[in-house]
Every structure is written in C-alpha cells, then in structure tokens.
Amino acid sequence: MAQPSREDLAISENLTRIAGSLFARGYSYGSAGNMSARVRNAIVATPTNSSFGHLETERLSLLDATGVHISGDKPTKEINFHLGIYRAVPAAGAIVHLHSTYATAFSCLNDLPDADPLPYFTPYFPMRVARMPVVPYYPPGSLELAASVEAVAADGPVILLRNHGSIAWGADLSTAAALAEELEEQCKLWFLLEGRGRALSNAELAALHARFGTPGA
C-alpha cells in the first residue's frame, strides 16, 4: 500500500483521540473494547491488548479490506466482526465496540429477546436507532460471533452482544462513538428506573419519526 495520505492520518489521529476520550470518561477500562475505521481501501483498527487510554497513532493496525495485516501492531482479536460489518454495510465507515458497564450488564439479563430489548425512554435513541439486534453469546474473537454479527449488521447501527457488550457503527468515528455512548446511557436509565419507567408510546415514537425521519429509511 502507498504511503498513508493526510486524510488517512487524520482518521487515525481521530481514532486515537476518540478512544482516549471514551477511556477518560469511563466507557472503556483496561484493554476492553476496540475500534476501527475505513481509510480508502484499507481499515485502521486498535491493536490487540491495547488500551483506549494509551493508544499511539503510529502503532494502530492497518489491514487491507479483506483483513490482511499490512502494518502497525497486530489487530484486535475481535477484528473478524469488524470485517463482517464492513462487508455487510457499505455505509459503515467506523465501528466502536465497548464493554461499557450498563450496556454489558443489560446484555447479561435473563430472557432477552432477539431484538429490541430496550424500552425507549427518551427521544434521542429512537431518533437514531430503528431496531437493535441481540446476538447470542459466543467466545470473543470466534468466527461464530463474527458471522452472527455480520448477519444482523445491516439492522444496526447498534448491536447488543449477549454477555459481552455493544457494537455501534456509523458513517464516521464520531457518529459510532456517540451511538455507543447513547446506548450506555439508555441502559443506565433502565437500571436506575428499576421497572418504574414510562417508555415513549408507539404514538409518541411515530410522531418523532414523522418529525425527524425514520432512522435507516
């Protein structure tokens, strides 16, 4: 691959900056979570066992579109589901995967349905997320997990991984990160409300979609 362009470098620097911000605000801890973004015909991703809080832009993993490692450190072991999302969703320009506390706790609840497990308490989330698929538990990094994520990725842009965490994709890193943060806050509300919350009604959701458009439409 040719030398990275200025635009590629800007995306990589943005990834390092956003990861640092997620870490500083407690959305990631230790070496939990991973991120990636498309750069021209390649993908830049967080390295395996790296911490969002201590990334170095020049050490980020660069892979070709098929997942072959080109340069930088070895990529996250969860790179396979990133590649699956990019295959399934041409509009996905970036992916943020978190083990953030409330979304992960929510993913561990008994009896979660296959989709839409979360009531819509506030407007922002349903304005951006029409449907949230729930992927069954598989070991991190497994091809089964990657295949299950790829199968539902187009239903995103937010996916809950059973007993694991969340994935958000977006046109760019800021959009994906904002969605991942919003899911975490919605799950936090769910726990804080302890079953006493009033979810937005179907009529209220329809009015929101009439006013702001249906996400993904």
The neighbour count for residue 9, using CB atoms within 10 Å, is 15
Candidate list 86, 120, 124, 144, residue with the active-site label: 124
Two tokens at 152?
């539902």
Catalytic residue list contains 124: yes
Q: End-to-end alpha-carbon separation of the chain, Å? A: 36
Catalytic residue list contains 204: no
Q: Rounded distance, CA 57 to CA 55, Å? A: 6
Closest to 51 (Cα-Cα) out of 81, 73, 80, 83:
73
Give the SS3 label for residue 124.
Answer: helix
Identify the bridge partners of residue 75 per DSSP, sorted by sequence position. Answer: 47
Q: Rounded distance, CA 26 to CA 43, Å? A: 26
Cα–Cα distances in angstroms (integers) from residue 55 to residues 61, 120, 133, 172, 195, in the given order: 11, 34, 30, 19, 39
Candidate list 27, 78, 120, 182, residue with the active-site label: 78
Catalytic annotation, residues: 78, 124
